[in-house]
Structure 1
Amino acid sequence: MAESQTELLNRVFLLESEFLKFLKPTDVIFNIQGLEEDFIDEIWELEKNNRKEASGRLLKKISENSDLLPKFIVALSDQGYQRFVDPINNIYPDRGRKFCQEYFEFLINYMKGELADILEPLQICAYLYRNRCIELSDKEAIEAMQSSRGRTAACQEMFQAMKRRKDNWALLLLEAIKETQEYVKLKMDPSASQEELERTGILLAGTKQRYHSDSTSSDKESLPFESTFNFDVKLRQKVRLQSIRNPIIHDCIITNDQLVFTDYVRNSLLIYAINGSINREIKLSGTPFNISVINDNDIAVSYNQKFIDIISINTGQVKNKIVKSGNTGWISYQNRLMFADIDHQKIDVMNLTGEVIRSFNRPLKSSVLCISSDTDSVFFTDPSNSTVYCFDLNGSDKWRFTADMMKSPTGVTTDGNGNVYVVCYISHNILVVSPDGKHHKELLTEKDGLQNPTGIYYDKPNDCLLMYNKRNCDAFLFDVKHSH
């Protein structure tokens, strides 16, 4: 082993205790080329029972094969493990920042219980994700934790995710709190009196103003579909996206008999033929956030930045760049109008030149949002309270739906009859809801192959439903027939 490589390995193993404390091996093993599939499976299974042991096993493997070392470091960097990458590269914080980090870390650990009682983690983690402080997998884990175990558990998950990724996690977390929940004031001086704290406005006060996400359920109980309303769903095609090594898919659509997936790792679109065979890859200008079909030839791509690309699916060229005043998240195109979530605050309704026809305040305070527009309605899903919302095109509430079988809805799409299809990450199923929100039916379940599904799209011309599994990178194409 070359001397420089030996020094690199020594720096890695100087951090061994940190790796054992914070590393999640499954975050990086799929990005380290040269690891045998059997070893990857071994680490995957081992981590389920003992993450620390799995981390030690991975480090041992790296030490035994010098070719794996640089690939391991690149994988750490790609997956946002800056707390490891900087010291490995001999980059250390200045003494002033180090002191502040240690001080704020002490304060946060000291007040962790109080913070978990008043913070709204979904707001904070959205900010952290936008600013590359945590990864998509961390954000989804926090959202899932709030959905399944509540806000306090989600806060604990958020603290751990920050510690895992960044050595200056306390500084970054305090900045996120300041930007998203300005009414939360931290007690920076533990020796200060109650009067001093109230006068200076730096009191961490559970009795002061608190923010609560809307979680109102429907006034009328939703009923299952009547037996006269039938859906016949048949599997047409299973698509194994594992053929593209280690993709992280965020969204999917069907256009012109092609399946299109966003790859978060490669900053690209993966194009498959309708029969499931890989076609090609289109490189993008950034990390894709959401996509929407414009026509048979064009799609819109958002990046959680201040622009939207209109891209030709045939040539891969950007035909138009729509510049916006704020970061653009979820988008949906319908009837020659683009609906775009801007800065998690408002919905802009615009044409394809970017001219805003109208805007309305974002109807949900949750930081997580999926939208799908129909001819006279906009549908939102909120994973934090497992609710589907229907609004008119001006942002007025029409109806909302929730059900025990629907846990953490992550996507929504509609068919030509106005039925709403909802994909659910935690309950591993797809529900269909009637156009008026009064009836529902569980359409597909884990028995049909759904495992932590995240993406969904209904192709109206051909009446087929595309969905994507995050857990195993499989996609399924179902033919849907429905009749009254």
Structure 2
Amino acid sequence: MITRLNLHIAQIVRRYNGYKYITSQCAICDLRHLTTSSTHWCRECEEALCIDCKEHHSLSKASRSHHIIPISEYNKLPPFVTTISLLCSYHNEKYVQYCVKHECPICFKCINEHGNCGGLTLFEQFVRDIKSSEAFRDMEQSLKDMLVNIDRIREDRKSNIEMIKNKKKQIIEEISRLKKQINKRLDKLQEDIMVDLEREEMECCKKIQSIFSTLNDQAKDILQFNPEIENMKEYASDMQGFLGMGEIQKQISQSENCIQSMIANKETETVILEFTIDASLHFLSNAKTFGSIVVKHIPSDGIELVRSKDKQAQILVTGKNESVYNMKLNLKRQLRTLCNTTRGCCVTVNGGFIFTDYQNHSEKLVVLNADGENKYTIPFSELYSSYDLACVDDKTVAITTGNSHGKTGVIITDLTTRKEKRIINLSSTPYGITFDGKSLICCCKDIRVISCTDFSNTIIPNTAVSAYSSIATHDGKIFYSDLQKNTVTCCSYSGVPLWELKNKSVLQRPRGITVDDKGNVFVLIMDSSIILVISPDGKQYRQIQTKQYDLTKPSSIFFDKIRKQLLVTNEDCFAHLYSISYF
């Protein structure tokens, strides 16, 4: 059965085969019934010419102005161009004018039909220099833009697939973790109920055994009367028998009273052990599934389509197309931090990872190797907490205590011995800290510079900050966030403000801060799950919604300038490592 598609394909094949024949044979010789290979093509006549006919065509008065090109160049044109007819499809006449209203070329016979259009122009004049026109350049740019957009969508979809696979691993770990927690809890409940069962069984048996003892004593006393009664029958007088019988009756009455007392006191009731399952445990038998897998669709933050025609309406950016507006995070890997309340993170020179756990009464420092495996954990004493940290070198790390239970200050810890080397006491509580290659810089009530030589500290003027502020440095500048003032400030080491971003709509309780190798500032807006990226001059910024990157509640952030990767921790015991690209 011949379908419409088959007919369409056949037409294309016939057209292509006809095109090959037209261009390979000289059209004039063909009219003379001669077969001559063509060497040139006349654009105006739309005919192939051999070398002899080309000479005549160039000398003839009617065609000497025609543009003739080698057939090899003509064959380079795409088929959709060469198959375009320059003759009117209605009258088979050459196009002479162009109707702007209907956007179509017309021949001289079509002019009457378009007489009222009012926008007729000479077709030759209309198409003159079209290949160097703005419209042609726009078309070329549109093709480039489409390729860029396709690449962006392709990369975004690859990133989405990687994100889904990583989320699957995370869900599997979460299910396994929950299963272990349930099993552990059930084991504990089983242990407790077995202890209760053992205790109740022993108490019940003990009470019954005590009744046995009383009954045995009663039976022993009664059995003693049997031989005495026989002797009374044999040897006692009637008077003695009567009086002796009274004594025995007294003993029998006492035994009966004892048994009646047992019955009245319910000591002879049957004791039964029963087991009742706690109603809250019925959820296991009633549960139909372990949970539910929900597929959500949210707008992709990684796709911003380019359309050159709309560039005037877009925000102009500088540099090599690398700005906060076209920045993209690409998930590289996930790390298990083992921290419930991460407030500080960093990457060592050798590529290892260090995290602080600020959870109450279980403060610790967690160290992972470059493969993301747990290397060791350094617990802190009850006197100190672990808030933020900064790597001084591969063997030394500085940790701020934050709002500690006991003492506050900066703890210099040796990672080799896993012990405290020194405690730097400060007059106010330190929170955010960073290392600029020479000195430690931390946020107290103001910003302080701590010498790594003698550990003395100096105050940078005009830098009053509130609690839980974070800090970073880059290119001789200091960047810090203020949680209470809702600001991000850049200043010099002498305290001179360079710029300040204060926008309550985007800066609501900023917490973590870091700077990449280009000077872009990354700020965590923890309560709204946003990473705010600020340009080096503080004039441009962009919000990155972290939920699409599986960061439901980001808690700390660090940029590794050696490997140019961004480390972000989440409040679910996981950290995500991203590379940064520009589209």
State which structure, 1 or 2, has the greater radius of gyration over its C-alpha atoms.
Answer: 2
Question: TM-score w.r.t. structure 2 length?
Answer: 0.42
Higher RCO structure (Cα 8 Å, ≥6 apart) = 1
